[in-house]
Amino acid sequence: MKNTVKLLAACAVLAVAGSALAQNVITAAPQNVLQLTASGTVEVQQDMLSMTLVTTRDAADAATVQTQLKTALDAALNEAKKNAQPGQLDVRTGNFSLSPRYTKDGKINGWQGSTELVLEGRDFPRITQTAGRINTLSVGNVGFGLSREQRAKTEVEAQNIAIESFKQKANELAKGFGFGGYTLREVSVNANDSGPIHPRMMAMQAKSFSADSAVPVEAGKTSVVVSVSGSVQLK
């Protein structure tokens, strides 16, 4: 029995000693490790167009406003769907709002509301010509962006640039510090995300265009940035 107790005590001491040794090894600061970041940027033409058509209505009761908005939106939807094509011209409804109008005394004296229709896709002429034919809604916002395919392709280009820049920096810094080279310890790759298309206000109305005219738009360029950051072991 006494031998068993001694053996258990000895094991406990060894376990504690082993744990302390492991902690010392884990917490030991790495030597000759370099942290660095590099990025790659590619400028690309925006290939996605988003046009938001909007209308507002005002009446004495909510039901009338809602009916008027529905009538205007249904007519716009029917016209837009004639030219809809997946990826080239996608049609969807946007925001819908209905709220009371108050007097100075806080009493409701009417209702007002608005509704939106969004046309978006890669076929700019198809989108703008469709917007020009809709006469129940007005052009409110226009925005440009990148399609999923264009963004993925451009990110690969920017990523390759960032990786080469990272490797070049690591080599130059290793030599600058008197080392012959390096090995990669850890690395992370991040691409900027511009998110959804950001619209801008348009000082024009769809009803001011003839049925055959296109709403004038011109896309610009945007930059896709990929950053590579991590650590290398100098050797």
Spans of all domains in the chain: 49-144+198-218
pLDDT of residue 202: 46
- pLDDT digit string (tens) for 91-110? 999 999 999 999 999 899 99
pLDDT of residue 58: 95
pLDDT of residue 11: 47
pLDDT of residue 209: 46
Q: What residues does 142 pair with on adjacent strands?
A: 51, 200
Element (H, E) at 152: helix 148-176
pLDDT of residue 36: 94
pLDDT of residue 199: 53
pLDDT of residue 19: 54
pLDDT of residue 201: 47
Strand pairing report for 138-145 and 221-234: unpaired
pLDDT of residue 153: 95
Q: Is the pTM of this model over 0.75?
A: no
Judge contact between 132 and 210, C-beta under 8 A. yes
Q: Cα separations (Å) of 74 from 54, 91, 94?
A: 13, 12, 13
d(CA 5, CA 50): 79
Residue type, 72: A
d(CA 116, CA 91): 11
Judge contact between 222 and 44, C-beta under 8 A. yes
Residue 233 makes CB contacts below 8 A (sequence gap 6+) with 30, 32, 33, 34, 182, 183, 184, 185
Q: Domain 49-144+198-218: which topology?
A: Alpha-Beta Plaits (3.30.70)
Q: Is the dihedral of CA 41, 46, 48, 50 positive or negative?
A: positive
For tokens 């790759």, name the residue: 189
pLDDT of residue 219: 87
Buried b (16+ CB within 10 A) or exposed e, 78-96: ebbeebbeeeebbbeeeee
**In which residue ranges of the chain is pLDDT below 50?**
4-5, 7-14, 16, 21, 25, 201-211
Q: Which two tokens stand for residue 143?
A: 């925005």
d(CA 121, CA 3): 82
